[in-house]
Structure 1
């Protein structure tokens, strides 16, 4: 599961995406929820493509399928198991046509620790870049008066770093794989299966952080600082 993220600096993402498309990017991001401890049901920055052009925009975190009868949290899904996206009705259409990347500076997971009443939070970030690219899907729900774009983060089995902490982790893609994942003309999803795997261990850094991040109302840099022993 991936249920809390750190998105405090989007500028490196914007610069890299614009270089990737040689400036051919539509930037719709009006992103007022920048912070170190962002929960579901808020907006996330989403990178996707249309007509070969890169798009950066904000979307609601918690996918609501286009076929849902109403805009309701009972349909809202913050995570989707990578093993299921090709066959589950909530995801299959988006997996074919509406794949996206969600750039984050880092994310959190919680570890059960014997003798502790609360779980120990851990923070994960990239060793090499100021952000990670999480694989996601998006969809657009609408009625006569409203249009809502929403997204979900794909999860997979844990790598060796994650195994002692949690039994799932987000699918993290390398920048060089972005083009294949985002290609809207590619609907043979069997060609994407090799991307839906645990991240290489040498991609990530991780450390325990203070339980203050358990509350999404605490949204400041100390959430991601290493826990003092």
Structure 2
């Protein structure tokens, strides 16, 4: 996963797919998110649960522990290491969902350029990426080192031709279970390892190279090339 995604529908559209009955505590606003080309270190809309209430907040994409200031903050975490490695130990139990419309990958072309591809669900429904992060509990102030990482796994099927890693995407029922604080850590790890959506759920197409500049935004960035 190369680190670029889109969140352009409104947060209520994402939440409606989850069918969580309690009212949403919404700190990101009601308007469409309109982030067609979101890059690492930017603040993205995330969903997390506290005391059976669902919260939508903006949180920076990227996180590192306080003792790792000598390295760049990673934006992704490999599922093979995230549950038991020391680097993410402090946030392993702080689960969240990053709801997205699609993500982008780049493939080397014969002319030595890099061709961007857009990956989306075949049914065009919301994509729920499993993530962990550091974020304040309700009523607490945010901190400078708050942030999140998206959990990734090996690609499979035809998606291998696009990239060897991809985000772990959970269906709505599994996303609800991931968000629930009552879900034990052992069960959360099982969700990541065995119950993510398969590559057959997704489709992909080439897009224009303008997406390579994160300053570029707009619906034209997600249109398929002829």
- Shorter-chain TM-score bucket reads 0.7 to 0.9
- Asked if residue 100 in structure 1 is aligned to residue 99 in structure 2, the reply is no
- Which whole-Å CA distance do the structure 2 matches of 1:76 and 1:212 have between them? 26
Query: Do the aligned residues in 1 keep the contact of 2:22 with 2:53 (CA within 8 Å)?
Result: no
- Asked if residue 151 in structure 1 is aligned to residue 148 in structure 2, the reply is yes
1:162/1:53 Cα in 2 relative to 1: closer, same or farther (>3 Å)? Answer: same
Q: Unpaired segments of 5 or more residues in structure 1?
A: none
- Which whole-Å CA distance do the structure 2 matches of 1:150 and 1:32 have between them? 22
User: Residue 119 of structure 1 is aligned with which of 91, 108, 114?
Assistant: 114
Could you state the TM-score of these two structures normalised by the residue count of structure 1?
0.85
- Which whole-Å CA distance do the structure 2 matches of 1:179 and 1:190 have between them? 13
After the TM superposition, which residues 119-198 of structure 1 pair with which residues of structure 2 at under 5 Å, given as runs?
119-140=114-135, 147-148=143-144, 149-190=146-187, 192-196=189-193
Give 1:56 shift. 1.0
- Which whole-Å CA distance do the structure 2 matches of 1:8 and 1:33 have between them? 5
Could you state the TM-score of these two structures normalised by the residue count of structure 2?
0.86
- Asked if residue 74 in structure 1 is aligned to residue 81 in structure 2, the reply is no
Aligned residue pairs, count:
218
- Which whole-Å CA distance do the structure 2 matches of 1:150 and 1:207 have between them? 30
- Which whole-Å CA distance do the structure 2 matches of 1:22 and 1:194 have between them? 22
Q: Unpaired segments of 5 or more residues in structure 2?
A: none
